[in-house]
Amino acid sequence: MTALPGQGQVAQEGRRVQSPAAQTMTATQTMTAAQPAARPRWADDVLWRRRALRLLGVWALLSVVLVGLRVSTAAIRPELRDAQTAQAELVKQRDALSLEVQSLGSANRISAWAEEAGMLRFADSLKRSAELSGVEAPPPPAPPPPLKLRWQWGPGPVTPEESSPEKQVSP
């Protein structure tokens, strides 16, 4: 036969040829026959067991890391409390020193100290007037030298005779 074998045609060798769709259907049918029953993936017990073990492993790893972190940072809390206590004491000392500086820097206290040191207030001091003599002014600078210009007329070359007349211009 010269035609291609199709469904229901007999090949040259004498056996019946099936179409590709029929071949895949038979393969699928043989696979379903080997499995007892098709269940959805979400209902698979092995899948859920694997997920539970994975989550349990993550939980155990996280708990070990957190406990290790807590143990390694256990000494920080007492040191932090000591630092806070020291800070509170320093704040109290600063406030006391600030109050003392303000009381020592009052105008009455400064006036009393100045009188004890023999100083006079400006209002009580003797006023004298005198002429202020200034410093002599420096001499003016020397005038600059005169400016020399050279004039050239026309586009021709410059000869030594033409360039000799010079004009002096003073500023």
Instruction: Give residue-wise pLDDT tens across range 26-43.
Output: 555 555 555 556 667 667
Calpha distance 47→32 (Å, rounded): 21
- The answer to whether residue 71 scores a pLDDT higher than 80 is yes
Least Cα distance to 169 among 146, 144, 142 occurs for 146
Q: Around 40, how many Cα atoms within 13 Å sit in the side-chain half-sphere?
A: 2
Q: What is the pLDDT of residue 25?
A: 54
- Summarised one tens digit per residue, pLDDT across range 74-114 is 889 899 999 999 999 999 999 999 998 888 888 888 888 88
What SS3 state is found at 10? Answer: strand
What CA–CA distance (Å, rounded) separates 15 from 18?
10
pTM greater than the 0.75 cutoff:
no
pLDDT on residue 15: 55
Contact 25, 12 (CB under 8 A): no
